[in-house]
A and B are shown apart, each in its own frame.
Chain A
Amino acid sequence: MLALIHDYRPQAPLLWLEGAPVSQAAFLAAARQLASELPDAAREVLPLAANRAGFMLAFAAALLRNKPCLLPPAGHPAALASLRAAHPSAMVLSDQPAQCTAPGDHCLRLAFDLPDWTGPVPELPATQLAAIAYTSGSTGAPQPNAKTWAMLIATARLAMDRFGQGLHIAATVPAQHMYGLETTVMMALAGGGIADAGQPFFPQDVRATLEALPAPRMLVTTPVHLRALVAAAPALPELKLLLSATAPLPLALAQDAEARFNAPLFEIYGCTEAGSIATRRPVADPRWRLYPELKLETLAAGSFLHADYLPDPVPLADEVECLDGEHFRLLGRSAELIKVAGKRIALAELTQTLLGIAGVEDGVVLLPEADEATAVNQRPAALVVAPGLSEAQLLAALAARLDPVFLPRPLKKVAALPRNAVGKLPRAALLELLHG
């Protein structure tokens, strides 16, 4: 059995809500109350709360009732609709009434005003299914990944050992994403951290959130937000560390961020299938350093991660070069995957989606960035042959089928694609057409 809150100290803060701490005992009281209100008929919980405290309440209540939480691959309506179709017995728990649309859904009351829980901390079976995390997948349908309570706790403990205890955590990433779940929600429940409930967006929001938190402070973010932060240069309070993940971080940006905010910047490497597995501080050492007790194995079929808490070895989407038992280098993507704002998708899938629109005769989606490994924003572009449709109509049709961050820009209509003798599309010819 594993505790719902590790190293339980009833009066210690678990999270920070609008400038004030919420104690572990107050949180447990609210979570137990919510758990008692969940209907038996709901087999899974879809925690859509934008507020991290709301997400944590939904997550803890679902755990207490042995209902796994569904983590959607994206937040747009089509993704949520297909998730609900795949899990018809799931209920939504959200702090936004507009999201509680089905009869069994439940709108969260974001308050911690009940008498403190005075009993022992609840314990859960290590093998309990805690979450089902969906990846956008490279071949079409979103892929579910089962996360047991033990798996989620293991990565939080490994991160705590590497980054330290007692961190007050502000994050620009949502709790519904594995990276956000691990570095905020799970750090609070099992990694000795205190999570802020907000999700600051603009640089000045980040400053305000951090200013409301006591030291030591950690900022969990992504390259896209980090670039905006460095450019806007708000006067941030003292930081213990910065964390970035979800996309490659250019070294120059890492150097600028460390200099600007006077704190070490670490990157986390992981995937939805395995969770976080390694870290690095790019300004000091370009090599990735595995968490202790994890092992990488490189076979002809690719690289696999072994860990005590993973039932099977996990194949990595990237090609890696093992340098010693602890360090590795990333050699690049195995498939033509692109990442925008922490979401990933295969270019081939984008092209298929484009070709699936009625009226599209031919088309291709490509990455125009010359150096895609270091581009912060891997926005795809598209060339389309569709005589009867306008560019705006094509974008509208794509918007109904894709996460908005993957919408091609520019999307350019052309008379024909420069297919060569074997029907392939030479990249140089595509780029010429795109920029011409």
Chain B
Amino acid sequence: MSSLSTTELELAELLIGALNLEGRDAAATDPEAPLFGDHERGWGLDSIDALEIALAIQQRYGVELRSEDEATKRAFASVRGLAAHVASLRKG
């Protein structure tokens, strides 16, 4: 497990709050664990969660996600991917 950057930790905390994932410790997040499907190693999230995540990200960072672009699909692979995507949207 690679270490968590400050922005990744912040994003993990945002996800845990927005999705009511009580019992999950943001600081113990594996930044490369899959967000969807995998319950043993990953977060086990689904499409409704993706909608909630997009909303939380828009409210916190002021950036809007689109599903048509391939970058968003890659971004939703992990906390690391999502943090990098949000950072690039904020710059852009």
List the interface of chain A (C-beta within 8 A of B).
200-205, 208, 224-225, 228, 231-232, 234, 340-341, 377, 391-393, 395-396, 399, 404-405, 407, 409-410, 412
Per the CB 8 Å criterion, the residue count for chain B at the interface is 26
A205 close to B46 (CB less than 8 A): no
Given contacts A200-B67, A205-B68, 14 further A-B contacts (CB under 8 A): A202-B51, A202-B64, A203-B64, A204-B65, A228-B55, A232-B58, A232-B64, A341-B48, A393-B39, A396-B39, A404-B46, A405-B48, A409-B21, A410-B21
Residues of A within 8 A of B68 (CB): 205, 208
B40 close to A377 (CB less than 8 A): no
Q: Does B23 contact A (CB under 8 A)?
A: yes
The smallest C-beta distance from B56 to any residue of chain A, in angstroms, reads: 10
The smallest C-beta distance from A33 to any residue of chain B, in angstroms, reads: 28
Question: Among A200, A201, A392, which residue has its beta carbon within 8 angstroms of that of B39?
Answer: A392
Question: Among A202, A204, A377, which residue has its beta carbon within 8 angstroms of that of B48?
Answer: A377
Residues of A within 8 A of B48 (CB): 224, 340-341, 377, 405
Q: Does B20 contact A (CB under 8 A)?
A: yes
A426 to B48, CA, bound (A): 30
A407 to B52, CA, bound (A): 16
Residue pairs across A and B with Cβ atoms less than 8 A apart, 24 shown, are A201-B47, A201-B51, A202-B50, A204-B64, A204-B66, A208-B66, A224-B48, A224-B51, A232-B64, A234-B64, A393-B40, A396-B38, A396-B44, A399-B37, A399-B44, A404-B37, A404-B47, A405-B46, A405-B47, A407-B44, A407-B46, A409-B19, A410-B20, A412-B23
A231 close to B55 (CB less than 8 A): yes
The smallest C-beta distance from A366 to any residue of chain B, in angstroms, reads: 15
Instruction: Mark out the residues of chain B between 1 and 60 whose CB falls within 8 Å of any chain A CB in the assembled complex.
Output: 19-23, 37-40, 44, 46-48, 50-52, 54-55, 58-59
The smallest C-beta distance from A176 to any residue of chain B, in angstroms, reads: 14
Residues of B within 8 A of A202 (CB): 50-51, 54, 64-67, 72
Residues of B within 8 A of A205 (CB): 66-68
Residues of A within 8 A of B40 (CB): 392-393, 396
The smallest C-beta distance from B92 to any residue of chain A, in angstroms, reads: 14
The smallest C-beta distance from A199 to any residue of chain B, in angstroms, reads: 9
The smallest C-beta distance from B51 to any residue of chain A, in angstroms, reads: 5
